[in-house]
A and B are shown apart, each in its own frame.
Chain A
């Protein structure tokens, strides 16, 4: 594929608001996970990666019908790191119809519906009048919100493939730009804490009672997080800064195996990584760091580790940053693309946190400390329920 430029990007997660806070936490190997104290949840002994200040950041009156935790988190993200100004500048250059919006989410504003069900009319069972389905609950809500906030008139869509959602948006946006439908795209993902995912992962016995420990021999499940991750994707400018980051390739595959368990050999993961390398025109030896999906469930890390070892051996430093951020589900692909971009720009490899004893049965080079090595090309993995896989290859322009 033709390389595309991540001309601007920003992230909000439990590590903090914006790139400076995110980078500082990664440099310090800090985790943003804390004991669960979300909403009315008192019966789950787990850790969460909650973004600070979402409840205190209401939407402007003109966008009030979109009011829900997911869109508040989106709006918080859009106002960071000059991202909105960069979008306005892209609109001025390309036009309102030539800037697409392709965002990933798994649960959208479902928290709004969960809370509305508690307020059903005792007699009729009706939902309250102040509940707005289209602008909060519907899976498209966050892309509609961003398109409306910028007065855009071009293509827009939400990709909702569980935990690969906001990686797959890069592949779709790259195709749309290649086809000439658009000149730039706002990509990334927004996923926010809700009861469905907390109690759902609890039902699968996949919630860790401690901060999650990816690739640890004693790993025991995930820590759920939330994030907003936005990237402005465009064709590369004629001359790029030294720290410019490019999307070099994207690869997608399906496990065709099971709804909630990965293919045990990591076959689908392997296919996605091979496809991403092929799209980038690269060999495994060209990759300097892998940001793993690394959810810290026993089965994910075993299957992914097997696939990585089959393709890269133990030659490439790898880590999962979910010990720091939690698993941000539909926002994970976008958030981890941004962490990968920071690694490329800043010249370091982020070590995984919380992992005390790397699983000796997974023969990959797993980093538990930061390494001061400047990568030129990195691969980021995102896999999801339903057996949906996506790998991205990012690289320095120079």
Chain B
């Protein structure tokens, strides 16, 4: 018995950061195939929206998460305080995790309070709340390599069932060695999507998601495809590529085998 449940939302803003992909704005021609992809180390600024004391405590995962969240909210001309949030990542602050494990394996197991509160998987969501002032629901998910799909599914379920505007924020960063050898994530990456229940003047596309069996789409550009395969949240790239091209289409994204996510995209044509 298969019920073809479809979840619908309007996509009002996108945030993107990755190696050679400085922002959604800068990356659109690269993803659309009209400009070449050139890999280079990712740079991300400390979030100015945080008070200085908190800003000093942010590691790379938090910076990436807040940067893409901010880009998506600004692009959609949205009030972050009105949006629910779904954060999803395979890890979190992976440098912090390594530092704690090293300390706990040493003679002196004292870890600092900042290290500890940054160790929770929901640290980026906590900093986002402080930065944005949003007191709305925020959930924080993990589904290993399926973390982008799990986040998108939860966000669209919120939009469809609760009628909320929901900000999806997905992000990953590398582990240092020795964990890097066991979980080789090559670079930091982040994708954010502002998903709304109603069409607005900022809407880029109407998207409709359903669970599927199809194999996930690959990217033609070999270096981008390598990122998609290696970084959990980069598994959302085929969706961003379709949005960059601006044509009506269907894409299939990775989720949890045997399930994938099929998404139909209808671009909003704005004057």
Contacts and interface: CB of A to CB of B under 8 A. Distances in A.
Interface of A: 43, 95, 97-98, 106, 110, 113-114, 117-118, 120, 125-127, 131, 133-134, 138-141, 143-144, 147, 153-162, 168, 171-172, 175-176, 178-181, 195-196, 199-201, 203-204, 252-260, 267-268, 271, 275, 384-388
- The 5 closest A-B CB pairs, nearest first, are A386-B126, A200-B116, A252-B137, A160-B121, A139-B142
27 contacts: A113-B101, A113-B179, A117-B101, A118-B105, A127-B181, A131-B182, A147-B256, A155-B211, A156-B143, A156-B150, A160-B142, A171-B137, A172-B139, A181-B5, A200-B116, A203-B115, A252-B139, A254-B125, A254-B137, A255-B129, A256-B130, A257-B130, A259-B130, A260-B117, A385-B120, A385-B126, A386-B127
A199 B104 contact: yes
Interface string B128-146: 0110111111111111101
B34 interface: no
Given A95-B1, A160-B120, A203 B177 contact: no
A140 B112 contact: no
Nearest to B126: A386
B139 A385 contact: no
Contacts of A387: 126, 129-130
A266 to B, nearest CB: 12
B142 A140 contact: yes
A158 B141 contact: yes
A380 B66 CA distance: 31
A68 B125 CA distance: 28
Interface of B: 1, 3, 5, 7, 54, 57, 85, 90-92, 97, 100-105, 109-113, 115-123, 125-127, 129-130, 132-144, 146-147, 150, 153-154, 157-158, 160-162, 177-179, 181-183, 211, 256, 258-259
B168 to A, nearest CB: 13
Contact of A172 (B90, B127, B154): B154
B129 A386 contact: yes
Contacts of B100: 196, 200
B113 A260 contact: yes
A153 B259 contact: yes
A134 B137 CA distance: 28
Given A131-B182, A175-B157, A117 B102 contact: yes
Nearest to A106: B120
Given A156-B256, A386-B129, A200 B135 contact: no
Given A113-B179, A176-B157, A179-B157, A254 B110 contact: no
A227 to B, nearest CB: 18
Contacts of A43: 109
Contacts of B138: 161, 252, 254, 388
Given A117-B102, A138-B144, A387-B129, A256 B135 contact: yes
Contacts of B130: 256-259, 387
Per DSSP, are chain A's interface residues mostly helix, strand or loop, or mixed?
mixed
A161 B88 CA distance: 11
Contact of A133 (B109, B122, B162, B179): B179
Contact of B153 (A143, A155, A252, A388): A155
A106 B120 CA distance: 7
B134 to A, nearest CB: 6
B126 A271 contact: no
A162 B142 contact: no
Nearest to B141: A157
Contact of B135 (A110, A143, A253): A253
B207 to A, nearest CB: 15
Nearest to A153: B258
Given A201-B116, A388-B122, A253 B136 contact: yes
Given A200-B113, A254-B85, 12 more contacts: A141-B144, A155-B150, A155-B211, A160-B140, A175-B154, A196-B104, A200-B115, A200-B116, A252-B138, A257-B129, A259-B57, A260-B117
A199 B49 CA distance: 31
A117 B100 CA distance: 10
B191 to A, nearest CB: 17
Contacts of B116: 196, 199-201, 203-204, 260
A154 B5 CA distance: 13
A126 B144 contact: no
Contacts of B120: 106, 160-162, 384-386
Contacts of B125: 161, 254, 386, 388
Nearest to A98: B1
**Residue of B92, B142, B154, B158 contacting most chain A CB atoms (<10 Å):** B142
A158 B158 CA distance: 16
A259 B117 contact: yes
B139 A259 contact: no
B142 A200 contact: no
B144 A140 contact: yes
**Residue of B1, B90, B92, B121 contacting most chain A CB atoms (<10 Å):** B121
B87 to A, nearest CB: 9
A196 B146 CA distance: 26
